[in-house]
Amino acid sequence: MSAASRGQLGFVRVASVAPALRVADVAYNVAHIEAALQQAASQGAQMAVLPELCITAYSCADLFYQEQLLNAALDGLLAVAAASARWAISCVVGLPLRVEGRLYNCAALVSAGQVAGIVPKVYLPNSGEFYEQRWFTPASRPLPPTLLLQGQTVPFGTDLLFVAAEQPECTVGIEVCEDLWAVEPPSGRLALAGATLLLNLSASNELLGKAHYRRTLVCQQSARCLAAYVYAGAGAGESTTDVVYGGHCLVAENGTLLVESDRFQFETEGVVADLDLARLHQERARNSSFSQAQAPAHARAVRFVLSHTGAAAAPLLNRPLPRTPFVPTDAARRADHCREIFNIQTVGLAKRLHHLGTRQVVLGISGGLDSTLALLVCVRAFDRLGLARSGIVAVTMPGFGTTARTRSNAEQLALELSVTLRVIPIGESVRLHFRDIGHDEAHHDVTYENAQARERTQILMDVANQVGGLVVGTGDLSEAALGWMTFNGDHMSMYHVNAGVPKTLVRFLVGWCAEEVFSHAIAALLQDVIETPISPELLPLAKGEQLVQKTEETIGPYELHDFFLFQVVRYHDAPAKVFFLAQQAFAGVYSDATILRWLGVFYRRFFSQQFKRSAMPDGPKVGSVALSPRGDWRMPSDAASALWIAACEQLAADRD
């Protein structure tokens, strides 16, 4: 995908760079800044951020009073501005600047050969190893709105917002080092005024534990501001008279660290990442706290050129993009994820049982993933409440497509878990129903399948009446998104413990239970359930008890549908962007044609099946994506999908 089209989807590529430098050697520093800009541009970066006072070095001390150094710094700024045009990249650099007889610690944004604007530092640290107030004036005092730099009028002040001429969602706000550590960082005000990309030029030294604190601070500020935050720290070339600098470069987006650099390098060190600024705009529109916050009275907008020329050489996205957004790739984090979700599920069910004063639940078990997870949740909830597991009535209801493998696993699990097992075959009752409604049993259509699902639900509801309990639902979030359930059949229950868990995560939850919660025979059974093909088992088996009905062959791979679900519901991305992200995430796994085919299926089913979600039973939300009509997702059941389907068809036509 070209840089222009990537920009149309809201992406901006940024670089955070700590260049090699020498203290007070402006020519050396500018040469390495220019080389860093050339390197960043070759990687497709459109904006580069460099450290505080990088043109002179931060640790010049009383040399900041020297006329020679100040004049050289200004010449260096103009040289960097010229380089921005040469390499077609915008950048922000730090330098000392004398204004009306006062010295300011400044950040200058240069673009297309010009100095677009200059932002002075607001908070000057003056304790411990820092004594900036010896040299610099804080920007809290009245400032002239413009400066005249060698015949060019340049905006000056802390109220500047820099708006990309060709990509207005890229609005830049700048703060300098200590500004971020303040009680009220300027970046908060800048974000409320519209800044989506916050830049920090820093000279934070290295102390034990400080890197972790700095990393946390950057991520938290990006989350509070619903913004991207790019931080560039001064490198190891700074003076080591009393402290050491590490060149810590960080890029975060809405609370997530996208990339960071190695520290303590004498050579130029940097990182590059793609920021999704359109997504940040969407997050702000949905966030009520952001919309209610008081924006500053005014902010001056300065236009600058955000180049798109260099990025064409690097078409792939440079940011974390997991294929399974619901499932962490890191094993330790995934285990924590599963533990937290399992606790949410079990506490949700336990609270409902406690509220109703019931000691009985009923659920259908098939030997598949979803019903197995629901059964494990029931067991843990009963254990939490000190209830006898015999109050869990697990009903297996073999039908026309039930395999010996799934039936055996269901029955063995019930026995090993010491719950009450009831085996109620449904074949005879379904055939009687076929005769009642005049349906040919040889006609394996939707009536054939749904009659079985509704018969099973009727049995569960009636057994629940018998024992004075409630029916626990087993379907998952992915099935709700696709409507892959029978309305008023397995769609219905009295409490739906898996309602917030997508299919790709169900598998890992069952696996986690096998590893950490249960052991021996139970763990072995759970492992076999994980390895069993996903199927509703509603069609008769082929010769040798072979399945003829496999869910993913009918509706598509769940890993694709869960990926689509996350982008569409969590971020409200348009089809073109969902397709682009899927191309990146599943490169080498699925062809473009395959992705587009199933994306079209996703949209068709997601829209047409909303009526089922509108009648969903209660169930606990476990993550940022949920489809409860009472909470996260409100959508008319008769909304038209034409706009989205047309977009998918246009994408397919463009590929041909």
- Residue in 78, 147, 151 with CA at minimum distance from that of residue 115: 78
Query: Coil, strand or helix: which one is 228?
Result: strand
Q: Which residue has the tokens 């099946």?
A: 609
Distance (Å, rounded) from C-alpha 654 to C-alpha 316? 19
52 catalytically annotated: yes
Query: Coil, strand or helix: which one is 368?
Result: coil
DSSP 249: E
| Distance from the Cα of residue 339 to its chain's centroid | 20
Q: Which residue has the tokens 């989807």?
A: 9
Amino acid (1-letter code) at residue 616: M
Residue of 54, 106, 177, 219 marked active site? 177
- Residue in 404, 562, 390 with CA at minimum distance from that of residue 467: 390
User: Strands 228-233 and 249-253, how do they pair?
Assistant: antiparallel
Distance (Å, rounded) from C-alpha 89 to C-alpha 313? 14
54 catalytically annotated: no
34 is written with which tokens? Answer: 């220019």
DSSP 362: E
Q: Which residue has the tokens 């080591």?
A: 240
Could you tell me if 654 and 620 are in contact, meaning their C-beta atoms sit under 8 angstroms apart? no
Distance (Å, rounded) from C-alpha 641 to C-alpha 647? 10
Sorted by sequence, the CB contacts under 8 Å of residue 278 that are 6+ apart come out as 9, 10, 11, 169, 577
Q: Which residue has the tokens 């064409």?
A: 312
β-strand partners of 15: 48, 272
Q: Which residue has the tokens 């029955």?
A: 411
Distance (Å, rounded) from C-alpha 528 to C-alpha 424? 23
Distance (Å, rounded) from C-alpha 656 to C-alpha 651? 9
Distance (Å, rounded) from C-alpha 235 to C-alpha 57? 9
177 catalytically annotated: yes
Distance (Å, rounded) from C-alpha 51 to C-alpha 230? 11
Q: Which residue has the tokens 């977009």?
A: 647
Distance (Å, rounded) from C-alpha 460 to C-alpha 455? 9
Distance (Å, rounded) from C-alpha 72 to C-alpha 22? 14
Phi, psi for residue 43 in degrees, rounded to 5: -90, 5
Using the Cα atoms of residue 283, residue 288, residue 292 and residue 293 in order, give the sign of their dihedral. Answer: negative
Distance (Å, rounded) from C-alpha 556 to C-alpha 292? 42
Residue of 34, 54, 91, 121 marked active site? 121
Distance (Å, rounded) from C-alpha 392 to C-alpha 126? 66
Query: Coil, strand or helix: which one is 125?
Result: coil
291 is written with which tokens? Answer: 């919309």
| Distance from the Cα of residue 358 to its chain's centroid | 39
Residue of 52, 178, 206, 537 marked active site? 52
238 is written with which tokens? Answer: 């700074």
Looking at the annotation, which residues are catalytic?
Answer: 52, 121, 177
